[in-house]
A and B are shown apart, each in its own frame.
Chain A
Amino acid sequence: MTLKTTGLRKAFGGVVAIDGADVAFQPGKVNALIGPNGSGKTTFFNCVTGMIKPDEGSVHFGDRDLTGRAPHVIARAGVGRTFQLCRTFPRMTAIENVLSAVRPGGLLHGLRSAHRKTEIDRAHHWLTRLGIEHLAGAEARTMSWGQQKLLELAGVLMAEPKTILLDEPAGGVNPALLDRIGTLVRELNAEGRTFVIVEHNMDLVMSISDHIVVFDRGRPIAAGPPAEIRADERVLGAYLGV
């Protein structure tokens, strides 16, 4: 399913953060969204995931119109996200953090135990996969920044999204963990998950992305495979201000 925006626009007072963005991410690929600071990437993420409502334009996931829908509706439609400043539930244990992503279903389902074996197993699976299973019983607030980033991703994966939006996965992360995150993204992508990554670390972007969209002043100025983007003069101009 393709995640697509048409004519997306969002202004905060006089500041136009997104200015008529037409973006189509490639399904089944690792997409990257890059651009200078203030080019509207995070606002774009927030509009797509329903955290803020766009002024104009539309967001579609497959043929489903998600424009202006509540974040939980968009999450349930299969679009998961992480946050720029990694967000976990600080006073819940790692396993509870992951279990929180379980869909409660209807009212009666909601009254079922939150600690059913099938779900616990699934939560353990994701913690193991991300290499933080030994921290299952630790409260998130006691974990390091890098561990919290992995925990956040584990929670998102637990919700079984088809498309995952990562907001600066490399932010504040050491080189070893950076490698691991890059490998993970490629592996999870190989299993059929689409990724959209906002990232400033160009090495990571160039090494893991199939498709790159470049934002400048609230709209895409270029899109294509890494090699093409690297050579694009408009991109260089946007970054270097020439």
Chain B
Amino acid sequence: MPLAAGAVLIVAIAMFPSLAPNPYILSSGVIVLNWAVLATAWNFVGGFTGYISLGHGALAGLGGYATGLLITKADLPSFVALIVAAVLVAALAVPIGFAALRVRGASFVIVSIALVLILLLVFQSWSSVTGGSRGLVVPRPFPGMLRPEHHRVFFFLYGGLLLLALATWWLLDRSRFGMGLKAIREDEDKAESLGTPTFAYKLTVFVVSAAFTALAGGLYALWFGDLDPVFQFSVLTGSYIVLMALLGGVRNLYGPVLGAIVVGVALEYFKVEFGNTPLHLVTTGLLLGLVVMFMPDGVIPSLTALVKRLRKREDSSIREVTAADLAEQRKREREAANS
């Protein structure tokens, strides 16, 4: 099942650029894939351990800025800068995680929001390095390449990164390490009492998640070419990621990807149709409420449960039968016996 869905995803990624009718649609595809990577990277923490981070936008922002600064200030080649930036963010995730993962539940959510707000202030104020509110221009990795081709290349780069993230998630999902992480999600104290070093596990997976998030952020910097702290360190980014993952289903490998496609496409649509109105915020907020209330496990598990229920109806041992149904059934049986 995961392999079949993976094959479909690979074919879809391979075909999309040639099917996209214009460069705008292709660039929207890049944005949606960026969301898909971010949501999958988030799901390493959110899905396995159940720690809901609203601060992953900040990790992506750090990845973007680190990539941009390594190119502009340290003269590193674009893709070397991208990798080094991801390593740096992963290293920085150790102290961040060390502090944040000490608290659970709502407290962790608040700490993760604080991370975004603190970094927003830092990157806005430290303008001698980051460019502050004027933004940071990141040189294109392929100078002279035309826009549509540029989008196409980045679409495939994002596609590769997404597959790598999915493969890693799948590997962890079936491993003992993953089993320990899921035990943390279920009952952290209990997991600890069975011998799982919960803190080390949480920290490790947070670092892995941060590395993938930073790679997505760095790739975005290379693709978009312009970074602004207001957008890079926005609480909204983390909120969208959480919405996407929850919508698709956090316990499922492809849940966040599906959520990213639905929400990512919707966000682009709202941008085109309604411009700068806050309508997209209202809609996504409403969607989040609906998902949490009616599909807390996300679309994929809800749909599989529905399919299972429909299929099982035939051979279930417990049926809901009215007296009239029962009489009808008996009558049919009698007739069958008589004939």
Interface positions of A (Cβ within 8 A of B): 49, 51, 70-72, 75-76, 80-81, 83, 87-92, 96, 99-105, 107, 109-115, 155-156, 159
Contact = CB atoms under 8 A, between A and B. Distances in A.
A100 B191 contact: yes
A70 B190 contact: no
Nearest to A102: B176
Nearest to A86: B190
A87 B192 contact: no
B190 A99 contact: no
Interface in B184-201: 186-187, 189-199
Interface string B168-192: 0001101111111011001101111
A100 B193 contact: no
A110 B195 contact: no
B273 to A, nearest CB: 39
A155 B180 CA distance: 13
Give the interface SS of chain A, mostly helix, strand, loop or mixed.
loop
A89 B190 contact: yes
Contacts of B178: 114
A72 B186 contact: no
Given A87-B189, A88-B190, A89-B186, A159 B195 contact: yes
A72 B197 contact: yes
A111 B193 contact: no
Given A71-B189, A92-B186, 4 more contacts: A72-B196, A76-B195, A80-B193, A87-B189
B197 to A, nearest CB: 5
Contact of A104 (B171, B180, B190, B192): B180
Nearest to B193: A71
Q: Majority SS of interface residues in chain B?
A: helix
A100 B179 contact: yes
Contacts of B177: 104, 107, 110-111
11 contacts: A49-B193, A51-B193, A72-B192, A75-B194, A80-B193, A81-B193, A89-B186, A96-B179, A99-B179, A100-B194, A102-B179
A113 B219 CA distance: 32
A49 B194 CA distance: 11
Contacts of B187: 87-90
A114 B186 CA distance: 17
A101 B195 contact: yes
A126 B190 CA distance: 18
Given A87-B187, A92-B182, A110 B193 contact: no
Contact of A109 (B172, B176, B182, B191): B176
Q: Which 4 A-B pairs have the closest CB atoms?
A: A89-B186, A110-B177, A75-B195, A114-B179
Contact of B193 (A75, A109, A113): A75
Contacts of A91: 186
A242 B159 CA distance: 76
Contacts of B190: 83, 87-89
A35 to B, nearest CB: 22
Nearest to B189: A51
A112 B189 CA distance: 24
A83 B193 CA distance: 10
A110 B183 contact: no
Contacts of B179: 96, 99-100, 102, 104, 114
A70 B175 contact: no
A111 B182 contact: no
Nearest to B196: A72
A112 to B, nearest CB: 6
A102 B175 CA distance: 11
A105 B198 CA distance: 14
A113 B194 contact: no
Contacts of A155: 194
A145 to B, nearest CB: 16
A90 B179 CA distance: 14
A99 B174 CA distance: 12
A96 B185 CA distance: 13
Nearest to A79: B193
Nearest to B190: A87
Contact of A115 (B174, B186, B194): B174
Contacts of B198: 72
A7 B147 CA distance: 74
Contacts of A89: 182-183, 186-187, 190-191
Nearest to A140: B186
A28 to B, nearest CB: 22
Contacts of A81: 193
Which of B177, B189, B193 gathers most chain A CB within 10 Å? B193
- Residue from B179, B187, B189, B191 having most chain A Cβ neighbours under 10 A: B179
A106 B193 CA distance: 18
